[in-house]
Structure 1
Amino acid sequence: MSLIDKSKASNSNKLSPSYHPKPDKRLTIDNGWLQKAEHQLSAFWSPREPQENISLLVVHNISLPAGSFGGNHITNLFLGQLTADDHPSFGDIAQIKVSAHCLIRRDGSIIQYVSFNNKAWHAGISCFNGRDKCNDYSIGIELEGTDDIPYEEVQYQQLSRLTASLQKHYPLITHENIVGHCDIAPIRKTDPGKIFNWPHYRQLLQQHNNIIITNE
């Protein structure tokens, strides 16, 4: 996620018990919420219309401050609690209303901010296969990282597990409908960057899809 150019909480965005997980083979989704994840309720979301079938997964990256990992700045941003006093570079982004459905941190822990059944404000001005407003029909996953620092193996593992579970619940998210932010907003965005290992991720995804099929 680039923090430039990004454009109601209700009962459908309820919190669930929160804790940090150890990576496991299956991630369970219940009523739009990922179990075995930390849940933080963002107000930056919109309800999906009945006809807006979830059919796209968008992979982003984010680090706050840029190139730094750890801390609570990303969560504070998504909760509207980031201030310009937190860091000199935050002056231009502190008031931005932005969110993602999930963040996968460097240690593999997952934080969910918005129910998958609702729209998170992650894509901004965007288009996929001729269809605008990707927030309407997509799920946005942030990786804690940058375009040029290798991602951690545990992040690939957790992203592939999460993706497999999302595909089970939202079958219109086909392999062809998994993209980077750079693919839906190529003029504005570069994430998850050339450093992101798409072949490795897709190989892991296939393995986790096979696990789900075997266990059904």
Structure 2
Amino acid sequence: MYIGSGWLWPARHIISKNCAPRPAGSEIDLLVIHSISLPPGQFAGSKWIDDLFTNQLDPHAHPYFAQISRLQVSAHFLLDRHGHITQYVPLNLQAWHAGLSSFKGRGNCNDFSIGIELEGDEVTPYTSEQYKSLVRLTRLLREEYPAITKQRIVGHCHIAPERKSDPGDVFAWDWFYEQL
């Protein structure tokens, strides 16, 4: 794996328009881990997630989709249940993954972070394939962006605790940090 022109190679690339330039002079120094499953609690692969991140989610395909189909959200990466990686936004741009957020007193975490979604939910253990891919990807990102220290790798729950609880208590933080 390597990063070239803001893209991970090899990875599946699906371009999301739900992104924006980073503020001038901002340093990428935070990695945020999320979880996502569409419909909730179901792991159907990336199709529905791709559709959500590209503003093509059919609100009639599932009752839950009517609530979220108009959201404009994205992430830099998705790791599906098999550990396959999809990239939606190049690393030089901010993906819209964090929402209203703050890390160590700094707001708008999208400005200075990379967002990784794990296909899953907060109660179902993540797969060994996902952890292996996440470790490899995180190591590579830390080489590219050395300001992302272990202390600056957090869950969505850490930057938006009033709103979010992902990746949940089932995420093996201690094991993950040891692998880095």
Query: CA shift at 1:70, angstroms?
Result: 2.0
Equivalent residue runs for 1:102-113 within 5 Å: 102-113=77-88
Instruction: Give aligned-pair identity as a percent.
Output: 51
Q: Quick one: which amino acid aligns to residue 106 of structure 1?
A: R
Say if 1:84 and 1:91, in contact at 8 Å, map to a contact too: yes
One of 124, 127, 148 as aligned partner of 1:149 = 124
1:187 corresponds to: 162
Larger Rg: 1
RMSD: 0.7
One of 2, 5, 9 as aligned partner of 1:35 = 9
1:70 corresponds to: 44
CA distance in 1, matches of 2:98, 2:22: 15
SS at match of 2:67: coil
Q: Which has the higher strand share?
A: 2
2:141 corresponds to: 166
How does the TM-score come out when normalised to structure 1?
Answer: 0.82
Query: CA shift at 1:162, angstroms?
Result: 0.4
What residue ranges of structure 1 are gaps of 5+ in the alignment?
Answer: 1-26, 206-216
Q: State the number of aligned residues.
A: 179
Note if 1:44 corresponds to 2:25.
Answer: no
Q: Quick one: which amino acid aligns to residue 172 of structure 2?
A: N
Note if 1:79 corresponds to 2:86.
Answer: no
CA distance in 1, matches of 2:9, 2:94: 19
CA distance in 2, matches of 1:152, 1:169: 26
1:23 corresponds to: none
Q: Which 4+ runs in 1 deviate beyond 4 A?
A: none
2:76 corresponds to: 101
Say if 1:157 and 1:204, in contact at 8 Å, map to a contact too: no
What residue ranges of structure 2 are gaps of 5+ in the alignment?
Answer: none
Query: CA shift at 1:49, angstroms?
Result: 2.2
One of 14, 19, 29 as aligned partner of 1:55 = 29
Question: Residues 150-200 of structure 1, C-alpha deviation per residue, up to 9 Å, x if partnerless?
Answer: 000010110011000000011111111000000000000000000000111
